[in-house]
């Protein structure tokens, strides 16, 4: 297999070779148009462009390679979902070149290393799911540039540092999950800007200080869980959480 053409599969069990084959074909087709267009055959070029698929959904298939940096060439992708496999190695920062990407699910794998700052360049991203991996380092504050993000799900990793106050700028957030990470510091009151917030999970971290009163005034919030932390302080006199179903502190 030409390494320039393998997107995801560096090794995989025999029944899955067809998937690797599919992906090789897939990338081959996406790379041909550039040269064939330059060569001047518009018919071939158009035909190849039409084959472009905008979703790659390969969840729960036992895939166990690493994610090649060449994935950054699939610039037309809207969705890349590789959850519940055994991918390992780093999350390539080339993913930041996928400016059309709306959904990126890499949850439940064995990804190591940091969350690449360049993910903040996927300006159309609405869902980022990286839970159940072995990611270290901090939550990049640049994620706050993702102004369309609704789901930011990072639970069960080894992320350190605090919740960057800048995240409060993403007013589209609906679900935020960071539970079971060795995070610390205070919960920023800027999270109260998340007027669309429905669910927030921050249990089993090591947050200290108080839960900002701004979080008790969110009309759509139905679940707030900050159990098993070092939190202290008082509840506000006025709690305006009309949608609340679960509150665990
Ligand atoms: C382009 O490709 C098509 C189909 O392969 C072929 O019929 C046509 O003759 C080619 N045109 C040129 C200018 O090479
Ligand atoms: C994960 O994938 C395996 C197959 O590799 C499947 O048996 C299992 O049900 C999946 N788990 C979830 C939670 O989807
Ligand atoms: C694909 O991506 C790699 C690494 O990002 C780059 O070196 C290569 O030139 C790209 N190929 C094409 C055809 O765009
Ligand atoms: C990552 O982002 C930096 C700028 O923020 C850029 O210089 C670099 O080329 C990017 N890497 C890729 C692979 O897009
Ligand atoms: C983002 O949030 C930070 C701190 O919460 C603030 O200082 C900054 O001005 C905000 N940036 C934008 C572009 O709104
Ligand atoms: C939690 O934070 C406190 C200080 O804020 C520190 O002393 C303690 O070791 C931390 N615990 C864990 C499990 O990281
Ligand atoms: C609750 O938020 C609304 C705006 O969403 C604001 O007008 C109101 O003053 C806030 N109430 C409290 C008690 O903070």
Task: Please tell me what DSSP assigns to residue 54.
Answer: S
Which residue's CA is minimally distant from atom 1 of ligand 1? 41
> Which numbered atom of ligand 3 lies nearest the CA of 70?
2
Residue 69, SS3? helix
94, 68 in Cβ contact below 8 A? no
> Which numbered atom of ligand 1 lies nearest the CA of 41?
1
Task: Please state, in angstroms and as integers, the Cα–Cα distance from residue 117 to each residue in 108, 144, 191, 243, following that order.
Answer: 20, 11, 20, 34
Domains and CATH numbers, the chain: 53-248 (3.80.10.10)
Cα-to-centroid distance, 48 and ligand 1 (Å)? 13
pLDDT tens digits, one per residue of 134-167: 999 999 999 999 999 999 999 999 999 999 999 9
> How far, in Å, CA of 145 to CA of 172, rounded?
11
Which residue's CA is minimally distant from atom 6 of ligand 6? 206
The per-residue pLDDT string of the chain (249 residues; one tens digit each, 9 = 90 and over) reads 333 333 444 344 444 444 544 554 444 444 433 344 444 545 554 554 455 678 888 999 998 889 989 888 888 899 999 999 999 999 999 999 999 999 999 999 999 999 999 999 999 999 999 999 999 999 999 999 999 999 999 999 999 999 999 999 999 999 999 999 999 999 999 999 999 999 999 999 999 999 999 999 999 999 999 999 999 988 899 999 999 998 888
The upper half-sphere exposure of residue 147, i.e. CA atoms within 13 Å in the direction of its Cβ, equals 0
């Amino acid at each position: 297999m030409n390494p320039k053409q393998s997107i995801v599969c560096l090794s995989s069990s025999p029944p899955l070779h067809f998937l690797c084959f599919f992906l090789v074909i897939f990338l081959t087709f996406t790379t041909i148009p550039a040269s064939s267009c330059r060569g001047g055959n518009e018919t071939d070029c158009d035909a190849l462009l039409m084959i472009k698929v905008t979703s790659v959904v390969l969840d729960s298939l036992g895939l166990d390679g690493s994610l090649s940096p060449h994935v950054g060439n699939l610039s037309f992708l809207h969705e890349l979902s590789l959850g519940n496999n055994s991918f390992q190695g780093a999350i390539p920062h080339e993913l930041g070149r996928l400016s059309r990407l709306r959904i990126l699910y890499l949850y439940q794998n064995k990804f190591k290393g940091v969350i690449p700052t360049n993910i903040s360049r996927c300006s159309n991203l609405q869902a980022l799911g990286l839970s159940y991996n072995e990611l270290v380092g901090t939550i990049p504050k640049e994620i706050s540039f993702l102004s369309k993000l609704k789901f930011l799900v990072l639970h069960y990793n080894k992320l350190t540092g605090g919740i960057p106050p800048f995240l409060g700028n993403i007013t589209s957030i609906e679900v935020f999950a960071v539970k079971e990470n060795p995070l610390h510091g205070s919960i920023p009151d800027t999270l109260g800007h998340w007027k669309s917030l429905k669910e927030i999970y921050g249990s089993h971290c090591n947050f200290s200080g108080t839960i900002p009163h701004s979080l008790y005034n969110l009309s759509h919030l139905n679940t707030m869980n900050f159990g098993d932390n070092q939190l202290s302080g008082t509840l506000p006199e006025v709690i305006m959480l009309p949608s609340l179903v679960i509150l665990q502190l």
